[in-house]
Homo-oligomer: A and B are copies of this chain.
Amino acid sequence: MKTFAFIVTLLVSSAAAAQVLPSWNDGAAKQGIVEFVKAVTAKGGKELVRPADSIAVFDNDGTLWSEQPLYFQFVFMLDQVKASGGPMPDPHDQKALLAAMGKATSGMTVAEYDRKIRDWLAKERHPKFKRPYTDLVYKPMQELLAYLRANGFKTFIVSGGSVEFMRPWAEKAYGIPPEQVVGSSGKIKYEMTAGRPALMRLAEVDFIDDGAGKPVGILRHIGRRPIFAFGNSDGDLEMLQWTAAGAGARFCLFVHHDDAKREWAYDRDSKIGRLDKELDEAKVHGWTVTSMKDDWKTVYVGAR
């Protein structure tokens, strides 16, 4: 019986090894991830981290799904401003866009706004791929999230995007529930109207969860320092710095968009998802670069 059980264990674990991150090519990125996870989960190991502290944070735009030719949420926002008849802001001027959006949607309940987002995502198609935006979720990242959770990690999104825009689909796309989505937010007011309570959107921005705001968002919302952080642009730099500066084993990496054929190729000069300082800091700190072109067998969850 013992021998039999041993053989079964061997078979199961070798099958499991083959199945780990199947959309990732063998290479430094995949190897680094798997070795880190082994190190922090090895019983009795020097770098063991208890599951409660195994916090993994992921940027969203450009890290978990595409962000070109314009952040998908910005396309949604421009559509809302247009529908409201307001003057159209420069889509690359975030401040102007947020102000216009505040005007266009203030006085709406959060339930009405949620409905608008769901309807928009169901109906709209990406201009280049002619597919629903949620088809442009990265398959290798979906696998990575599941792999981390299977190893006791708790996975969070920490994004410059708004919580309202991500929560309706993050659970299905990433297995990440609403309460594990950290993001930007506008001010909200509780109101009782005709005996029915409602949460109303106000025009002002409340919090921008980007750049130096990311460690603040992490502190507020999660209250523990992550041990694993994955980004793709300079907006993630402080999140990676904050993660890396913790005691004990930490793992930081980012997606390098170098795949003009299957996705896009951009970094230091891009208006969207600029990756410049982070490329330099990665070398200094030994953060792992994930090359979309070389490290990923498949890019999208939507078959292509």
Residues of A near any B CB (own CB < 8 A)? 52, 55, 110, 154, 156, 163, 167, 171, 177-181, 185, 188-190, 192, 196-197, 199, 212-213, 215-216, 219-224, 238, 241-242, 245
Contacts and interface: CB of A to CB of B under 8 A. Distances in A.
A190 B238 contact: yes
A178 B224 contact: yes
A110 B245 CA distance: 14
Contact of A167 (B171, B177, B223): B223
A224 B189 contact: no
Nearest to A219: B199
A220 B163 contact: yes
A220 B196 CA distance: 20
A188 B221 CA distance: 13
Number of identical monomers bound together in the oligomeric complex: 2
B219 A179 contact: no
B190 A242 contact: yes
Contacts of A181: 223
Contacts of A163: 220, 223
A245 B179 contact: no
A215 B178 CA distance: 15
A215 B197 contact: yes
B192 A241 contact: yes
- 10 nearest A-B pairs in the assembled complex, by CB-CB distance: A178-B223, A190-B212, A179-B222, A190-B215, A167-B223, A188-B216, A197-B241, A197-B245, A197-B242, A178-B224
Most buried by B among A181, A220, A241, A242: A220
16 contacts: A55-B179, A154-B179, A156-B179, A163-B220, A163-B223, A167-B223, A178-B222, A179-B179, A188-B216, A190-B212, A190-B238, A192-B241, A196-B245, A197-B241, A197-B242, A221-B221
Contacts of A156: 179
Contacts of A219: 110, 188, 199
Contacts of A212: 189-190
Contacts of A52: 171, 177
Most buried by B among A110, A181, A190: A190
A245 B110 CA distance: 14
